Amino acid sequence: MIAVSIQGSTPEQVRAVAQRLFADNFPRLSQSAQETVTSRASDLAEAFIEKAIDRGVSLSAAADPDVQYLLLASQRDYARSGNDSLKKLLVDLLVERSSAHEDLEKIVLGEAIETARKLTSKQISALTICWLLRSTTPTSVQTFDDFIDYAQVNYQPFCSNLPVNNSEYAHIQYTGSTIPGMGNSLGYLLSNQVPGLFQRGFPVNAIPEPLWQEPVRQELFSVNLYDSTLWQVDAPDEPKAREKLAKVGLSNLEQQYVGLLNSYRHSDEEVEKRLIDSGAFWADLIHVWQSTNLSSLTASSVGTAIAHSNWVAVTGGLSPLSTWITENKH
């Protein structure tokens, strides 16, 4: 039994609140069914307490009426399904909600908890990969191999069992987890996120002379990844390219330098071939992306919260939801 107190609320107090909420509000079933749902509700409450303590989140949030309502909703949904993946996702969302401060984030997380039960594990995986590919950027990568390693950690876990029937994607949209978007190819999305990893290269005479002066050219350019007779911008994306220019004092040449980064990219088809040739899960993902409506969906705010919590639960990712769900303050 956990026997610690966090900022005024003990696990025992939260446990008692959860038990009372469930007992008072869940319909009475036959004896065997009642034992099952009661056990499941208790398991979810215990998982919530442990996860909150592990993340340093105050259990005093359990006194909030909205948090109590959402705790009951989570117990209800897990008690009905017994789906362990759903339990983990609901617990993660509950912990996020317990630590949220902004009104918008609280509302979005509440809606996400109410929506999660409407999605299958496959659909949640599809929602997660959709959000990752459209709304996140692999900022830590410098080389193509870095990107492949990043993708193995962040993309691969969600690609093994994606829906292949468009009715499943229509249902995701029905729940409000996604909104219609542009049907971009996967090659297009990735080459826009990290154009520096998919450069076909350019000759020296394409480089403006002020950028090719010693010693700055050693900071700004490198031999092309795919053709050693050509050069490329030594930066994975536009923000990093701007940082490089600022470092050498040539920010006034940003348009020319970033122009080289964007003008000499591989085609979308070449990007996808390069990914498929690297092996792993890419061929299957690209096939599903091309043959279903996955390519035309964009995560809504609620879908973002669900996808983010699923990503955190599976990969241990550390970026907070507030990176994507924010309120503008003046």
The reported pLDDT for the residue numbered 5 is: 36
The reported pLDDT for the residue numbered 291 is: 96
- Is there a contact between 221 and 279 (Cβ–Cβ < 8 Å)? no
Number of H helices and E strands in the chain, helices first, is: 15, 4
Number of residues that this document lists for the chain: 330
pLDDT digits (tens, 9 = 90+) for 219-273: 999 999 889 999 999 999 999 999 999 999 999 999 999 999 999 999 999 999 9
The reported pLDDT for the residue numbered 182 is: 77
Q: Which helix (H) or strand (E) holds 32?
A: helix 31-54
Q: Which residue has the higher pLDDT, 73 or 10?
A: 73
Per-residue pLDDT, averaged over 10-30, amounts to 91
Is it the case that residue 7 has pLDDT exceeding 90?
A: no
The reported pLDDT for the residue numbered 307 is: 98
Distance (Å, whole) CA 115 – CA 300: 12
The reported pLDDT for the residue numbered 140 is: 81
The reported pLDDT for the residue numbered 141 is: 87
The reported pLDDT for the residue numbered 113 is: 97
Query: For tokens 């009905």, what's the residue?
Result: 80
3-state secondary structure at position 185: coil
pLDDT digits (tens, 9 = 90+) for 96-139: 999 999 999 999 999 999 999 999 999 999 999 999 999 998 87
pLDDT, mean over the chain? 92
- Is there a contact between 85 and 310 (Cβ–Cβ < 8 Å)? no
Q: How confident is the model at residue 328 (pLDDT cuts 50, 70, 90)?
A: low
- Is there a contact between 107 and 321 (Cβ–Cβ < 8 Å)? no
Is it the case that residue 2 has pLDDT exceeding 60?
A: no
| The model's pTM | 0.88
Is it the case that residue 21 has pLDDT exceeding 50?
A: yes
Residues with Cβ within 8 Å of residue 3, at least 6 apart in sequence: 10, 11
Is it the case that residue 326 has pLDDT exceeding 90?
A: no
- Is there a contact between 212 and 251 (Cβ–Cβ < 8 Å)? no
Rounded to the nearest 5°, which phi and psi values hold at 299?
Answer: -65, 135
pLDDT digits (tens, 9 = 90+) for 286-312: 999 999 999 999 999 999 999 999 999
Q: b/e map of 36-56 (b: 16 or more CB within 10 Å)?
A: ebbebbbbbbbbbbebbbeee
